[in-house]
């Protein structure tokens, strides 16, 4: 009796200590979410680990209030106000697959434009991790009708989508500040595996390098990225003309690579 009672009280103590430690950790990891997401804690635990998490105005997430087309919801992330950025991670909290993409902008500005599929109205969280490990968070709430992730890609309505797989359009421009910006648009169904009878098949890697082979940006793409991924990046390549090399790979091992010319900054 005595033993078991003692054991009980010790285990009680240990349990409360563990609980205390957990809640302390959780509090440190997840500040209150301004978007009120029920999945916020889970998003932090799964995707934003290894450093403090703070909401930061310098992470600008531009998104429409309402998704006009839930298969193609445009998002632009501008974290150029932050320095020493290691990676940018975007998640859609209420999607069946939350992780949309990760960008490591090695020699690029902390900026990305992309489009995602939304299964329903959802908060979007974007974490920008700096070298010290801190996650600087931004986000948006997007209203949407249903069905983005479980609907088949438009490509499956055509018979020749296998022939056009990897067909690429691209544009490199200098903006008014002289920054280079590249947009690539590649044909790919980006199948999530959640539409009936269509297995998972998506482009999961993109790497942009400079002429010397130095990495400008690395992207890990996931199922929620929209069909025919359209990605805008800002390579930090100086003001003279140069060449970029882009290579991509999908989950079936198809590899596509192509060069892109960056025009010189024109003096006006």
Partner 1 sequence: MTIDSQQRRALLKVLGAGCGCCICGAAGARLLEYPLHATEIASKTWAVHGELSHFNLENGGNIVNVAFIEVPDGVVVIDTGPSKRYGQALLTLIEKTVPGRPVLRVYNTHHHPDHCFGNQVFDQSLIAAPQGVIDNINLDGNGFADNMYRLVGDWMRGTAPVAPGVALEAGKEEIGGRQFSLFYLSGHTSADFVVRDDTTGVVFSGDLAFLFRAPTTPHADIATWQGAINELSGLDKDLILPGHGPADKRGESLVQTSDYLAWLEDTLTGAVDSGLTMNEAMQLPIPDGFSSLSVVREEFERSVVHLYPALEDQLMPLIDVTR
Stretch that binds partner 1, among 7-15, 25-33, 69-77, 79-87 (CB under 8 A): 69-77
Q: For partner 1, which is the closer residue by CB, 44 or 216?
A: 216
Answer yes or no whether residue 72 interacts with partner 1 by CB under 8 A: yes
**Using CB under 8 A, which of 83, 131, 167, 211 touches partner 1?**
167
Determine the Cα–Cα distance for residues 126 and 266; give it in Å rounded to an integer.
34
Is residue 59 within 8 A of residue 126, CB to CB? The reply is yes
**Using CB under 8 A, which of 17, 54, 62, 241 touches partner 1?**
62
Q: For partner 1, which is the closer residue by CB, 8 or 171?
A: 171
Residue 24's SS3 state is helix
Alpha carbon of 8 to those of 2, 20, 22: distances in Å? 10, 18, 21
Q: How far is the CB of 213 from partner 1 (least distance, A)?
A: 16
Is residue 59 within 8 A of residue 76, CB to CB? The reply is no
Answer yes or no whether residue 145 interacts with partner 1 by CB under 8 A: yes
Is residue 111 within 8 A of residue 234, CB to CB? The reply is yes
Span 173-192, contacts to partner 1 by CB under 8 A: 173, 175, 181-183, 185
Answer yes or no whether residue 172 interacts with partner 1 by CB under 8 A: yes
Letter string b/e over residues 21-55, b meaning 16 or more CB atoms within 10 A of that residue's CB: eeeeeeeebbeebebebebbeebbeebbeebebeb
**Using CB under 8 A, which of 59, 75, 190, 262 touches partner 1?**
75
Q: Which tokens belong to 145?
A: 């009708």
Span 5-34, contacts to partner 1 by CB under 8 A: none
Alpha carbon of 42 to those of 23, 30, 46, 214: distances in Å? 14, 10, 6, 35
Answer yes or no whether residue 107 interacts with partner 1 by CB under 8 A: no
Q: How far is the CB of 84 from partner 1 (least distance, A)?
A: 24
Q: Which tokens belong to 194?
A: 């959640």
Stretch that binds partner 1, among 38-46, 130-138, 168-176, 196-204 (CB under 8 A): 168-176
Beta bridge partners of 237: none
Answer yes or no whether residue 265 interacts with partner 1 by CB under 8 A: no
Answer yes or no whether residue 202 interacts with partner 1 by CB under 8 A: no
- Contact residues for partner 1, defined by CB under 8 A: 62-64, 68-69, 72, 74-76, 113, 115, 145-146, 166-173, 175, 181-183, 185, 228, 230, 232, 254-258, 260
């Amino acid at each position: 009796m005595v033993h078991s009672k003692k054991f009980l009280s010790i285990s009680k103590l240990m349990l409360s200590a563990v609980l205390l430690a957990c809640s302390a950790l959780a509090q440190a990891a997840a500040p209150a979410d301004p978007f009120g997401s029920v999945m916020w804690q889970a998003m932090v635990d799964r995707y934003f680990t290894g450093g403090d998490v703070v909401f930061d105005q310098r992470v600008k997430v531009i998104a429409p209030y309402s998704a006009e087309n839930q298969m193609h919801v445009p998002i632009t992330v501008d974290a150029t106000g932050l320095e020493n950025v290691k990676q940018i991670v975007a998640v859609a909290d209420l999607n069946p697959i939350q992780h949309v993409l990760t960008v490591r902008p090695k020699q690029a500005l902390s900026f990305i434009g992309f489009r995602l599929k939304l299964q329903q109205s959802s908060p979007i969280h974007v974490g920008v991790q700096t070298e010290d490990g801190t996650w600087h968070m931004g986000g948006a709430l997007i209203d949407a009708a249903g069905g983005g992730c479980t609907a088949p890609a438009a490509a499956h309505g055509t018979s020749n989508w296998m022939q056009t797989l990897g067909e690429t359009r691209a544009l490199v421009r200098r903006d008014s500040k002289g920054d280079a910006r590249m947009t690539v648009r590649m044909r790919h169904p980006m199948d999530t595996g959640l539409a009936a009878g269509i297995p998972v098949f998506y482009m999961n890697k993109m790497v942009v390098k400079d002429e010397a082979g130095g990495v400008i940006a690395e992207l890990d793409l996931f199922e929620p990225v929209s069909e025919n991924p359209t990605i805008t990046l800002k390579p930090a390549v100086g003001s003279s003309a140069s060449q970029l090399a882009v290579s991509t790979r999908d989950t079936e091992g198809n590899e596509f690579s192509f060069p892109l010319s960056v025009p010189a900054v024109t003096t006006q």
